[in-house]
């Protein structure tokens, strides 16, 4: 079986525009959860050891679950959805390349990190920014 490596998606010129209103709408549906989660995170790093990507990448900070949710959903919330495609592409790398959404991450403060990362994935998908895993129906 060939290795499946995520590659950037080719999008047409018409689909490159980011819709900040749509992003803000998606964020507003989860506003209370996002706001509480950002306030509740005490940056204790206790969630890090539950992430196998963190432990298998020499404990690189970018693989810490808290880092991933703060630099994806947290960033989108802080900017109120007013982001450009380059920002969404950075978030795409965080939420797909640096997280497999295995839901093993555990926060002692009760933050639903997988749910927040899933939200960031949904926002990226809504803007046409997602990885192409090379899966086709060709067999």
Which residues contact residue 41 at a Cβ distance below 8 angstroms, ignoring those fewer than 6 apart?
A: 66, 69, 70, 107, 109, 111
Per-residue pLDDT tens for 101-118? Answer: 999 999 999 999 999 999
Which of 4-8, 68-72, 103-107, 122-126 is the least confident region? 4-8
Q: pLDDT per residue over 35-70, tens digit each?
A: 999 999 999 999 999 999 999 999 999 999 999 999
The pTM of this model reads 0.84
Residue with tokens 């080719």: 10
């Amino acid at each position: 079986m060939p290795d499946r490596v995520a590659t950037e998606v080719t999008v047409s010129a018409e689909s490159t525009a980011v819709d900040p209103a749509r992003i803000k709408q998606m964020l507003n549906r989860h506003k209370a959860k996002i706001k509480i989660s950002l306030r509740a995170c005490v940056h204790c790093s206790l969630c890090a050891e539950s992430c196998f990507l963190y432990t298998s990448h020499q404990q690189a900070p970018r693989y810490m679950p808290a880092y991933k949710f703060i630099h994806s959903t947290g960033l989108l919330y802080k900017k109120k959805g007013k982001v450009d495609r380059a920002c969404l592409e950075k978030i795409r790398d965080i939420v797909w390349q640096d997280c497999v959404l295995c839901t093993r991450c555990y926060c002692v403060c009760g933050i639903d990190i997988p749910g927040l990362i899933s939200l960031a994935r949904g926002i990226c998908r809504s803007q046409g920014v997602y990885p192409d895993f090379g899966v086709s129906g060709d067999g």
